[in-house]
Chain A
Amino acid sequence: MKLPKFPNPFRGLPLRFDREGRRLWKDFGMSIAAFVCVVIALVPLGSILIEAAVRGLQAIGPSFFLLDTAYGGIGNAIQGTLILVAFASAISLPVGILTGIYLSEFGKNRFGDAIRFFVDVMTQIPSIVVGIFVYSLILLLSVSGIVSVRLVFSAVAGTIALATIMIPFVARTAEEALRLVSVSTREAALALGIPRHRMILRVVLPTGASGLVTGALLGVARVGGETAPLLMTAYGSGFGFSGLDQPVESLPHTIYTFALSPYTGQNQAAWGASLVLVLMMLMISVFSRLLLRSRYPLGGAGR
């Protein structure tokens, strides 16, 4: 087997310190520093992935995916996360993408600037604050008799919390994606006598489609790992989904409860759940990268 060849970092370094020698030594020093920084940055990432994989794999077996958390599995947690993320996406993708279209295509005025500012502020709000907000919102609504008190800890509450986090994120990524569609492409459409709304729908959106999809997927990955807002909304459950007005389990919540449990079996299951969550999010990221790379994303309107 041939070992991979590393470039000799000392090659070409002169043993003199005139102007050129100093420059080469400086270059050498900076390269080493940059390399060391990369290693430091990669250590936590690698360590998390390896740790989760090694410890998680010990917990994972066929029954791990089938049993409910009450019996040491994570079946209901996967189910709950999929349900929460699906409902949250169903709300935030249309709202977020339409907001993004507004900001990028019609938002070059004061009103647009104001919206952009608030959307930016919303993306910065800590997710636990969103949790408290949704919790107190539903509590207040139920106290005044507008909604059932059961909704305080329910799939509905969890969905609202995740959607609140996701909407501003999707709106901003959608705006950025559409802004990348060049002025010359837009002008080409206008110069053909195509009305502005049709230019947006038939030229700008397809051209920015890969960016829109990437933003949406990254939004899904973002909320898929949220724990804090779910603690106060979806709460958690030992069993499978039993209604929108009932508490529902989610993977991050499972990890949270299992990791804090005094039982080593549950601790191990927490590692297993972590591995599953990391892999799910990784898959989404990789998938979105692939979409970005493909030349003809979704807009390849064939003839």
Chain B
Amino acid sequence: MYQYTDFDKQFVKLRAQQFRDQLERWERGELTDEQLLPLRLQNGWYIQRYAPMARIAVPYGEISSTQLRTLARIAREFDKPAPELLAHAQATQDALQDAQPGATLPAPPLRYGYGHFTTRTNCQFNWIPLSRAADVMDLLASVGMHGIQTSGNDIRNITCDALEGIAADSIVDCRPFAEITRQWSSLHPEFSYLPRKFKIAFNGAEEDRAAIGWYDIGLQARRADDGSVGFTMKVGGGMGRTPIIGSVVREFLPWDQLLNYIEAVVRTYNSYGRRDNKWKARIKILVKSEGQKFIDAVEKEYKAIVELDGAPHTITQAELDRVSSHFVLPELKAANLPSKVSPQGQLYQRWLQQNVRGHKLPGMRTVTLSFKRPGFNTGDADADTLNALAQLAEQFSAAEARLTHEQNLLLPWVHESDLPALYEAARALGLAQPNIGLLTDMIICPGGDFCSLANARSLHIGAAITERYQDLDELFDLGPIDLHMSGCINSCGHHHSGHIGILGVDKDGKEWYQITLGGSDGTDLSGPAIGGKVVGPSFTAAEVPDVIEALLGTFRELRRPGELFIDALRRIGHDPFKQAANSMRRPKADEATLTEHD
């Protein structure tokens, strides 16, 4: 992972100092809430339903054991609501539950003391009081961590494929390019008050595992016939109310022009993006409405940057080499720990099949630890687990781990010979479910239990589906399925890109769920990125698990031998699936009441 220079370390510390000063001025009344808002967002601090939420950046998902221990300390010492706040929050959630009579699912109690892994490889905490925010940022800065631009209308933290640089199908290791772009975008004087957030993703492998079609800027690394490196650049993808896949603006942008071209795109967006309507302010709307005119404007701006401004941010070979050299290949020692795992055991074999992948280096493997387990919310790790992960990474993966887009944690440097012992250790921690890529490996946002934007809760639906699909034979029979769920149209749970998508909506204070089919994030399995299509009117929470079961039942009935869910859906069309889903509607509560009184 990237080793910070003295400048980088100092920069993060100064940023924490600056934020402390801003918070103090706010406490003294020198800054209004409205004036503080973008400043705290640009440091990753939201105010949520009951408490602030801190979003900590984990660039490219890469995290060290030392950093994991710091997150553990934050989970234990800081992620704690005052008893009265927790009681109030739980009572409010209970009232929400009571307002959905006969239409909902059992709701797990609100939890605290957890770090939550997100689809953009951040780690979020839900209960830290704002009065302790500055201390948390200082603590994070002591291990090179921060929340810089994890929120706000700026260039957000940059993401990559979790297997960047280690994948068997790697073309180019994009991490140095992502880091160069991260540095360029950090505290950018011109681009800190954009019309809306701006997200950039890189993918350096043959397969798109970074969902780049869904990004404001998506960059796919390419190698030309002469060996030179460049990027296919897509602009204007995004989810939300208007799901759009990015348009290709450059088939092959030479790598040294990366910052110059991004500057042209962001300046065009800053100047012409809509600011009158929050829902129409993302660059995707500008690209969609202007089409070729937008691309022409960007090209014109790029030409001016190169010809008139002297292209000062052209990346030099020396800089690429310098940053690349900071992604130090760690010393790869095998743990050689004894193991009692039977190599032929079915569970172990299933784990090898689902959770272990090939590696660029011979004899090495990547292992995904599953954070999709009964009794826990998707992507949640408490202090004990975070500490155990730190130790596991030290023992088996050169003290490094990676957060993944799918809200799991991956160990990037595992010796093949260590797999049985690692399996045993992961199993003891409850992190060895062999469900990676399967139905229960769901992407789920925190939803209406925590988020102030949410229209409906998501965690209780995740819990119900997890519980219903515990039979591994059944899960393996169903095969790979992307189930994504968001508690509102902001789409943090990427429901648009799920083979099955679930979207929470609110109607008159009641929670409803829209189901979509056929979405794709852009992986080989799912095909080119596309948004799913709605099956019909929305369902109650209570109906959702039945709808999922009906969809899967239809799949099992109609599939050809060996056919995958997404392939069957595309071959057959959505109609029989829609019918099955719609047949799961229960009589509405008021209708049922009428019938009783009749």
Q: Do A and B come from one complex?
A: no
